[in-house]
Structure 1
Amino acid sequence: MAITKPTPLFPTYTELAELNLSDYPQLSSFLDKQPTWIRQHWDWAKDYLLYIGRNKSQHTYVRFRNDIEKFLLWVFMVDKQPVDDLRKADILRYIDFCVAPPVKWISTQLHDRFSFKNGYFASNLKWTPFRQTPPKYDKDRVLDPKKYQPSLQTLESTFVALSSFYRHLIDEEICFGNPIPLAKRDCKYMIKDSQVKTISRLTEQQWQYLLDTAVEMADNDPLVERNLFVIATMKTLFLRLSELSERQDWTPLMSHFWTDEDNNWWFKTYGKGKKIRDITVPPGYLTFLKRYREWRGLSPLPSKGEQTVLVEKIRGRGGLTSRQISRLVQQVFDAAFDKMKSEQGVEAAQKLNEATTHYLRHTGASMEIERDRPLKDLSEDLGHSSSATTDTVYVQVERKRRAASGKDRKVQ
């Protein structure tokens, strides 16, 4: 049976909150041609995604939207059974589909779902539910959609989103059971990983190359002062990309730096789970803060109530988006990789070629662990719900001991 090309079902959260189907002619036409139960399912998913958008972060909305959209397209166009009739075996068939989707459902480029034209939101014919991307260190690799294979992490994310969706349907008394946990337990693709865990971080030498490169670039071009400030801030204050960027409900300001009665500096941020936390600011970081503020024509240190945007656009008003901040960091990663590769060799520099912005948070936290900072204090700065999370993610002391003891083995 031929499977037709899918159509996008849900826009961004802001657009979904204001959605009128008459403004989406192709989506409206697609739903009108379907049986009544399909339109009902779309409404269920819309209500669920609006709930996610209201109560979670923008990143969480996008992640869950992507997974629920894929699932519904499979339900509507392939399986053609209502979700409240699906059982464990059906979910496992869906996972089989996700592991090897039709080629026409896979794209090698990122495409927007809808474009605003002539007063309407037109569905993008190039959009697909699945996307194949090359590794960051090999961006020029030619991709073959026939060789698409999701990672274990991608499948894990799919199970999380679907289970959350079914729990919502149970709460709304639409479904009376959740088949996802049983399907995950019996899924042949969910391999238990007992291997050595590694953290996506830079070594001390790689970090020093990155920081030195950023300083050198800023010395030569004042506009790179922003790049330097972002890199120093994300690593030293363990910030996620979203915590430094402007969001619909939060704009990082200079006044979020503050001092207590003992003149200790802190930084207030709005993090994961919609939680505000205060992060300790070491004195050594203030040099970079002062340098950045001097470039912007501000006083050396922030004052109480200062409404200056923390990372400001050069043109226009307001703060930078996550994507814009990521580009600033990437510029320095690329330059540092080239510099370290020429001086130390490609093997020593490889992590700089692979690194993303999140490496900065992991690098800062890992270095704190290595200097024996109390786990509870670090956990508070990171915004983890418990010290156990910090311990699981970052503590690598035992692994290093194990590696050291293994070096004594003889071949003969």
Structure 2
Amino acid sequence: MESIPRPCFETLQEFSLLDPETLDGELSVIQRFLNRCPTSSLPTKSYLLVKQFLIKHAEPTRYSNYRSCIERLLLWSILEAKKTITDLNEGDIQEFMSFCTSPPDSWVADKCCRRFTPGKLKQAIGFNPAWRPFRFDQPSIGEDGTRIAYIAGRGALAMQMSVVAAFFLHLHYCALIATNPARRLHAAGFYAISLPVHTGANVFTDEEFAVLMLTLSDMADKEIKYERTLLMIASVYYLRLQPSEVDSLGGDLTISALRLMRDGTYDLVEEKFPGNHSWKIHSEFIDHYVNRFRKKFGRQCIPLERDHTLLLGKIRGKDSISSAHARLLFRKVCQVVIDTLTESGCVVSPDSVFCKASLLWLRETSMHHSARTMGMDDVIRLVRKSNAESAYQRFFARRG
């Protein structure tokens, strides 16, 4: 069983001559390597998919960088994850990027070297035993004579994530995978060179909101007490709650109030909630957040309409949280985002949204997203506490 990572692709000149659909014309040493890899990862299938992607980028200015990045993913998938590359999920991509940040010594070369040993015939060409997927750009031995740990630079990780995202986007467009496992991570910008500076509006950009929710999901995965915080923030966003509504409606907002509508959205159908059919809640809220919470706390067997768990409940006790408590929890999550980005080498600007956002930004971001996909009448209905003229004007502001 092969465990040492080996080079899978030749120079651009030789690679351009290959058939992307088969192994015809491949070096014998590469074919033998694939045959020795774990069979559960279907190495040949993964290899051909990567080759078909790489052939689209077979030009002098791009090939070398794309080859290095996508080859690492291929080797990690078949040797470490032992999965077909099309079976990798979002968690796998996170694990792979962590692997790239500080790979084991067995994956790191001391210096740049040739991939293959020369031979007069293709059958005689072999692997250079010194080659590895990662390499030091400076001496790997410190002044005290010990080997230095390899730590990837910010730019290298940004390039790696960009190529991985492009590869899975290619698979998704070719209908080879149902969902793109790298989409959210790439959009979140964790591996970008720096965090984008906020434009000034009281809304999160798509990337900023993805960072917020991804960070909070990770917090909940590590400590179950944050499942409550995740459900609370998701509720404020998807229900478009104003801070005052957290206080006035929090004690009545239960999971049982959610009802599936004919158009696939959900609504709060209890009489105590203002504005019949004025909530228009995306099914993503139920699928990704409510059901996640119910599963974590063993309530998935209870029908939705009979689950009287509070959406804004406290971690301890039966009451709902106040808007002040919600603000405190929200700011705590923003601080964790800042700390996480800083620790990973990202530059967090003083103008970053995470330094100055308030709880109200969740509602404004949700209204902004709604205005991009819904008609004016539906969006105005969602505003609730506003006169028609103000709602009309704000619709076009949010749509822009």
TM-score w.r.t. the length of structure 2 is 0.43
- Using the size of structure 1 for normalisation, the TM-score is 0.42
**Higher gyration radius (CA):** 2
